[in-house]
């Protein structure tokens, strides 16, 4: 499943994953919700743990501080300690990362994801990126009330930490990050000209190729996929950051990213560090929301008039008095139309 083609001036939001580093993205989306709800985007795409935070964000058509705060607290209250990740889980018949606890208990029951709100009251389409283990390509599956929980299990099927795969409608999927952790190029190819990207590591971060042993442990029975993961994961990670810094002609990219390495890593479960990470994201998100609101609505237009005046707003964005795009909370780039178009990055789809 490909991304929906953008017709006209469409805005997209892309949320990166990264295991427990997704706590930063969760904080950013909470901060955005206070000023800039999901209704201000035409499409939201979530990758890996980024899809978990984005799932809550796309269910709120207006600022809902308490509901958003409750969803955000999942990161440092419900996922800390040995609740989600533990070396002892296999002794109890579980995987290291307990997806049943995360999806079936937290998302379905304790902090219920109100999936019935998807695409209602002007909310955008929500696509979750996953790796198709049969075609060895990235797919963007539309989240619905009926499939979202299985889809989130597929999106968080991190090899080694989980079973590494999950079936949805007869197709076996895994975490999209194994092939493309930040599919920015795919959004550009689908025609989106105004893209906001939430990254969970600094823009300057460079990813090294995954080692042979990592690939072997991830997919011991699928050498081809193991090779593709080692070949494409770091390539797309680094290429997306290059594109964010130097967008193609006519494409505007707003990047929200931490200034430095986060207090947490891929599998950190220390509650205090997770809370610190969340708080960093909230601060960035609140500042970015004010900046983006002025970019999206330079004349102070309300969300109500967003759809009808999208084309006019888009052509005027960037004019007038706005905060400097070099502020640490958001880096906004718009490339002028050069005589020679920039070379396209390698697409994540190999079909």
- What is the C-alpha to C-alpha distance for residues 161 and 217, in angstroms, rounded to an integer? 10
- How many C-beta atoms lie closer than 10 Å to residue 145's C-beta? 13
Tell me how far CA of residue 103 lies from CA of 3, 89, 289, in angstroms: 25, 16, 29
Walk me through the domains of the chain, giving residue ranges and CATH numbers: 11-295 (3.40.1090)
Per-residue pLDDT tens over the stretch 297-323: 887 454 444 444 443 333 223 333 333
Contact 54, 15 (CB under 8 A): yes
pLDDT of residue 332: 66
Contact 271, 246 (CB under 8 A): no
- What is the C-alpha to C-alpha distance for residues 152 and 130, in angstroms, rounded to an integer? 9
Tell me how far CA of residue 335 lies from CA of 71, 193, 318, in angstroms: 36, 11, 12
pLDDT of residue 223: 76
Phi, then psi, of 23 in degrees rounded to 5: -60, -35
pLDDT of residue 334: 57
Contact 242, 60 (CB under 8 A): no
pTM: 0.86
pLDDT of residue 76: 97
pLDDT of residue 333: 63
pLDDT of residue 312: 37
- DSSP percent split of the chain into helix, strand, coil, nearest 5: 40, 15, 45
β-strand partners of 174: 131
Rounded mean pLDDT for each run of 10 residues along the chain, 351 residues in total: 93 97 98 95 98 98 95 97 96 96 97 96 97 96 97 96 95 96 97 98 92 79 85 93 95 97 96 98 96 85 46 32 39 55 40 40
pLDDT of residue 85: 96
- What is the C-alpha to C-alpha distance for residues 154 and 175, in angstroms, rounded to an integer? 6
Dihedral of the alpha carbons of 56, 59, 65, 66, in degrees to the nearest 10: -70
Catalytic residue positions? Answer: 48, 175
- What is the C-alpha to C-alpha distance for residues 298 and 120, in angstroms, rounded to an integer? 26
């Amino acid at each position: 499943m490909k991304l929906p083609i953008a017709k006209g001036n469409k805005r997209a939001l892309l949320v990166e994953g990264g295991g427990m580093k997704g706590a930063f993205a969760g904080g950013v989306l909470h901060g955005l919700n206070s000023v800039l709800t999901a209704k201000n985007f035409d499409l939201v795409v979530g990758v890996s743990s980024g899809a978990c935070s984005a799932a809550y964000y796309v269910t709120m058509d207006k600022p809902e501080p308490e509901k958003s705060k409750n969803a955000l607290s999942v990161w440092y209250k419900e996922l800390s300690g040995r609740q989600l990740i533990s070396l002892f889980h296999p002794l109890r018949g579980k995987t290291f990362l307990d997806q049943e606890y995360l999806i079936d208990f937290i998302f379905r029951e304790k902090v219920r994801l109100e999936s019935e709100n998807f695409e209602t009251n002007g909310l955008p389409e929500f696509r979750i990126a996953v790796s198709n283990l049969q075609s060895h390509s990235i797919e963007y599956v539309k989240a619905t009330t009926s499939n979202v929980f299985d889809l989130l299990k597929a999106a968080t099927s991190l090899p080694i930490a989980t079973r590494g795969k999950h079936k949805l409608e007869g197709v076996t999927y895994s975490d999209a990050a194994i092939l493309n952790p930040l599919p920015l190029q795919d959004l550009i190819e689908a025609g989106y000209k105004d893209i906001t990207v939430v990254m969970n590591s600094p823009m300057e971060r460079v990813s090294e190729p995954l080692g042979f042993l990592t690939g072997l442990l991830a997919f011991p029975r699928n050498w081809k996929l193991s090779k593709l993961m080692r070949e494409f994961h770091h390539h797309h990670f680094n290429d997306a950051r290059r594109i964010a810094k130097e967008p193609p002609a006519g494409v505007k990219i707003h990047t929200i990213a931490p200034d430095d390495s986060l207090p947490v890593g891929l599998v950190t479960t220390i509650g205090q560090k997770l809370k610190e990470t969340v708080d960093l994201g909230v601060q960035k998100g609140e500042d970015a929301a004010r900046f983006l609101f002025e970019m999206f609505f330079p004349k102070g237009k309300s969300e109500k008039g967003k759809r009808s005046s999208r084309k006019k707003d888009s052509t005027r964005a960037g004019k007038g008095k706005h905060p400097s795009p070099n502020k640490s909370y958001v880096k906004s780039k718009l490339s002028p139309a050069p005589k020679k178009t920039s070379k396209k990055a390698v697409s994540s789809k190999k079909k």
